[in-house]
Amino acid sequence: MRLVPILLAALLAAPSLALAQAPEGAAPQAAAPVTPAPAAKAPPVEEPYPQFGLALTVGAPDGAVLSFTYSPLYWLLIDAGFAYTLAPGMVFGLEFRPIDFFVAPIIRGEYGYYFAGDTANQIKKWVGLPEASWPLIGDASYNWFSGLVGIALGSRRGFTAALEGGIGYLSLNVKGGTATSGGTTITTEPYKVTAFTPVARLSFLYFF
């Protein structure tokens, strides 16, 4: 029974003995430095979509078109271009590409206008009018509105090719003229011919 008090006394005296055995003036040992865990890497920041592009288009009634494209949102494209067929003209378009993928559907609306040029001479030949009556047909210009759907292939951050088709409403504006035949002078008034027509476009667009 006397063994228990002796063990308790020994346990209480052990810390005091350890301090007494340490050399005088010895500095206490510093704790080992704690190495912080490496911070997790932040996910890479995705580059914004380019907003400007240059497109080359061939089609009907568009003709050949060189246009500049502005894209404020990845799914919205606005373009304006210089065009040429029988005469110089211009084409404006608004295009939606709702899916950001290598293959993307297209919904497009556009307006085009061609100034008077060689259009009237070609009309005279196509209709088969005799040359004596050619002066009755003056300068001719045409404009159209169209709606198209199609598909685009490529990268929204680089090069894309698109094929589109739809229907357009075309107006042919012809000025009148004056001709003299057999001593008789004939004058025609300006007139307009309108019709629905199929529309097709093949375009190549590069974003930069």
Instruction: State residue 18's pLDDT score.
Output: 46
Tokens of 92: 């404006």
φ and ψ at residue 131, rounded to 5 degrees:
-60, -25
The pTM of the full predicted model, rounded to 2 decimals, is: 0.71
Tokens of 204: 């190549």
Instruction: State residue 19's pLDDT score.
Output: 45
Task: Count other C-beta atoms under 10 Å from residue 31's C-beta.
Answer: 6
CA 83 to chain centre: 19
Strands, E assignment, the chain: 52-60, 63-73, 76-84, 88-96, 103-114, 137-154, 159-176, 178-181, 184-187, 191-207
What fold does the segment set 52-207 form as a domain? Answer: Porin (2.40.160)
Low-confidence ranges of the chain (pLDDT < 50): 17-20, 22
Instruction: State residue 191's pLDDT score.
Output: 83
Q: What is d(CA 56, CA 68) in angstroms, rounded to the nearest whole number? A: 9
Tokens of 196: 């629905």
Q: What is d(CA 145, CA 167) in angstroms, rounded to the nearest whole number? A: 9
Instruction: State residue 32's pLDDT score.
Output: 56
Instruction: State residue 119's pLDDT score.
Output: 74
Task: Tell which residue, 205, 192, 188, 69, has the closest CA to residue 133.
Answer: 188
